[in-house]
Amino acid sequence: MTPLKPCYKLPIYLKAHPKLLFKTLRILLKNTLKTKCARKFLHCRLQLFDQKCRLGLRQNLWQSYLNLGSEKEVWPNSVMKMAKTNEHIVCDQFVKQHLNEMNIKFDQFTNELRIQLQSCPVTLLPLQSTLDQHLQEFVQIQQKYLATKMQYQLNRYQDMITEIDLFQTFSSFPLTSDQQTMIDRLMHLQEKQVLFYEDLQKLEARVTIDILPRSFDELEWFIAFDDYFPLIKDNIAVEFKQNRHKIIQESKRTWFNTYIDVYESQIAEVEHEYEMELHQFKLTNSSQSCLNNGITTLCQSFLNYINHRINRIKEEIAYEKIPIYKKKLLRAQRRSKSTNKTVTIKPNVIVDLIYHPFTDTQLAYLSRGPTYIRPNPSVFFPKKTLQKRINKEHDDTMAKIKTYMSNLKDLPNIPLSSPVYKSYSNQLRSCLTQSYMTFIPLIDQIRALRELKLVQSIRKKLIKYKLILRETDKSGVLHIGRAIDYERKAAEYRQTTGAYEELTSNPFDDIICTVTRLLNQLKSMKRISDWQRSKMNPVRKKTELAYMYFIPKPHKKATPLRPILNTIHAATKQISQYLDKLIRPLFDRFVRQTTIVDGGDLLDQLQKYIHKGFFKSTTLFITFDISNLYTMLPQEESLAVQGGK
């Protein structure tokens, strides 16, 4: 893939992945594009459309600059930098000249496209009437990010104009020397606060790219103990390595939190001082009856200006200064000769291995955690698969809507025979089809393909080296361990508790039959009615065998495993749901006041506890750790107690 002109740099979507590019074009144009001549023609034409479209976006931006600049006599910093002056007349002439040059280039691209179309291959002649329209739409989709960037530049320019207008409104008030002094003081405090905010953002930016200040590395060198490492590369060595990593990471996090607390304290102190000064400023000027145009007071005009200015500066820090700061840090790191890898404070995947086969890229991907969703995972699905998903989602949604709308009690219901459902069904299917089938920018497709291959390579290594990837118990990160270690710890757990044994055969059919038989017996004994039996009967298609699995607890010594029993689709699920519906009101009636459901409920209960006056300086908070929860509940005794009552 070579550019038409040496000075033209091919965009990523035209050079990074040719196969993906032409695969998308085949679908878009509904043509096989088998000949090399056709593919070359399309690639050259896309280059011309790309340059023309980019130029069109720049034309729109500079035309907006001209319209606003001519009216407000204020020009963007980029224009003044290129014109090498801030004089209004010179900048106005420069923008007009630049627009004229772009118009000439735009006409040149239009002419080149017309000439190039004459060499259209025979295989593409049937598409000639709609070819350019499809290619233009394709290029516009690819340049979505560029359009967003230019819109941001225009918004920044408009914000600058608004700020100048607000300043002019504020400056129209006649100020005394005392008022000017107070205003200068308030502006100084706000700008001082912004400086602390920028330093805080820079520190957080360092964390995101794993380049901490040098003091953090010095802290690691001080803590790290490199004089000893177990000679035998076994579980003891792995535990030693993990403990060392935890100690360093926790120390760095404590140090980092100290930095954050200092910055936040400084920001809070300046904010408090600003609020006090502002309050005094309002009191001093509250007696003034002079209003500008009878609408805005001096205080309100000043607040409008300073708030807009500070928000603009913060946006500039977040979207302009911080990205540049990150690039400088990464560039300096690449130039650095040091190859030592330091412990980061970000949550990373935990690798319980002495040596591992994963690359830095794979580990970085896994460090995104279990909540990370791979972008556009369905983009490479076959069309039939996507159509099945659309049909399933459509049918499920329509079934729920019909059930709900046809059974309304408080409001008039909609009968199932109503034509409204068909109209809504067509609209829903159209929306789902557009959502699933719409083309996405090729850059997003390339990223999706890259991450898909990354996931596949990780899976292959997990299988090849007999490793297990699991989410940890509490820390919310992923953990990689050897399958043999999981099996050993699981066997130790079963042996220690004596509560479980490994099955040698599948008892699914026996369990279904047993539950069904017992329910039939209760029905024949008239203990339950026929509708109750139907309610509790297991549905074979929706029933699964209950199973146990383990998740690692790396926050504890030797990384023990926590057992999880998955019974959500067990044969007794229907029975449990029915009994819970019956017993829950009685349970809540007697023990709800002493039951804590979740963290939010804990805070509510604690607030009530405080209002009642029970919370004192002598109040103790006690936490305890339960091991082997399932075996510590005496089920037989519990049933005996229930029976006795």
One domain, residues 315 and 405: no
Of 147, 166, 185, the one marking the end of a domain is 166
Residue 641 is assigned to a structural domain of this protein: no
Residue 580 is assigned to a structural domain of this protein: no
Pick from 21, 15, 18, 10: nearest CA to 442: 21
Residue 445 is assigned to a structural domain of this protein: yes
One domain, residues 236 and 326: yes
- Alpha-carbon distance of 139 to 55, in angstroms, equals 12
Residue 224 is assigned to a structural domain of this protein: yes
CB count, 10 Å around CB of 604? 11
Contact 566, 550 (CB under 8 A): no
Q: What letter would DSSP give residue 292?
A: B
Virtual torsion, Cα 154, 156, 161, 165, nearest 10 deg: 140
One domain, residues 339 and 228: yes
Residue 603 is assigned to a structural domain of this protein: no
pLDDT computed for residue 288 by the predictor: 56
Residue 508 is assigned to a structural domain of this protein: no
Domain of residue 109, residue span: 12-166
Which residues have a Cβ under 8 Å from the Cβ of 511 and sit 6 or more positions away? 545, 571
Overall number of domains in the chain: 4
- Alpha-carbon distance of 38 to 45, in angstroms, equals 10
pTM for this entry: 0.80
Contact 228, 260 (CB under 8 A): no
- Alpha-carbon distance of 131 to 19, in angstroms, equals 20
Query: Hey, what are 163's tokens?
Result: 């700020």
One domain, residues 191 and 329: yes
One domain, residues 104 and 158: yes
The residue type at 185: R
Of 407, 438, 469, the one marking the end of a domain is 438
Pick from 124, 145, 158, 100: nearest CA to 43: 124
One domain, residues 357 and 491: yes
pLDDT computed for residue 452 by the predictor: 92
One domain, residues 361 and 452: yes
CB count, 10 Å around CB of 525? 8
One domain, residues 93 and 201: no
| Antiparallel, parallel or unpaired: β 561-566 and 350-351 | unpaired
Geometric angle at alpha carbon 151, from 146 and 152, rounded to 5°: 95
Q: How far separated are the first and last CA of the chain, in Å rounded?
A: 82
pLDDT along the chain (645 residues), means of 10: 68 89 90 92 94 95 95 92 92 95 95 93 89 93 92 94 92 88 94 95 92 84 63 70 84 91 95 93 70 68 93 93 94 78 86 90 93 86 90 93 82 82 92 87 90 95 95 89 92 85 89 93 91 91 90 87 88 90 85 81 88 88 72 56 50
Which residues have a Cβ under 8 Å from the Cβ of 49 and sit 6 or more positions away? 113, 132, 135, 136, 139
pLDDT computed for residue 277 by the predictor: 93
Going edge to edge, which strands form the sheet with 350-351?
350-351, 478-482, 467-471
Of 110, 134, 166, the one marking the end of a domain is 166
One domain, residues 398 and 426: yes
One domain, residues 293 and 402: no
One domain, residues 112 and 209: no
Residue 642 is assigned to a structural domain of this protein: no
CB count, 10 Å around CB of 282? 15
pLDDT computed for residue 5 by the predictor: 63
CB count, 10 Å around CB of 484? 11
Widest CA span in the chain: 100
Residue 341 is assigned to a structural domain of this protein: yes
Contact 211, 333 (CB under 8 A): yes
One domain, residues 191 and 307: yes
